[in-house]
Amino acid sequence: MIYEALGSAVLGLILAWAGAHRLGHRLPARPLVYSTGVAGALFGDFVTRTALGPGTALLSLLGAAVISVASLSLLLRPAGGLRRRSAPA
């Protein structure tokens, strides 16, 4: 169980690094990205392990990856920046 949690944290860190490397211009500060990736992976592992039970390490890692990517996607900013248009008077 400890190795599964450690593996999930490392997986979340790798996914956060890949996202920060590829989409660095659209993400906030890197420490926030890394901590969100790790926390999302640990939460995903917890939810998957709770739902499926023990003995499903590969499925738990898959659930950790899915939740980690989903939580990282919530940090993305729009590509074109914010365009504010004034309402017609």
How do residues 77-88 score in pLDDT, each as one tens digit?
887 766 666 667
Q: Which has the closest alpha carbon to 75: 40, 26, 4, 9?
A: 26
| DSSP code, position 23 | S
How do residues 23-69 score in pLDDT, each as one tens digit?
888 899 999 999 999 999 999 999 999 999 888 899 999 999 999 99
pTM as predicted: 0.83
27-40: burial string, b at 16+ Cβ within 10 Å, e else: beeeeebbebbbbb
Confidence of residue 1 (pLDDT cuts 50, 70, 90): confident
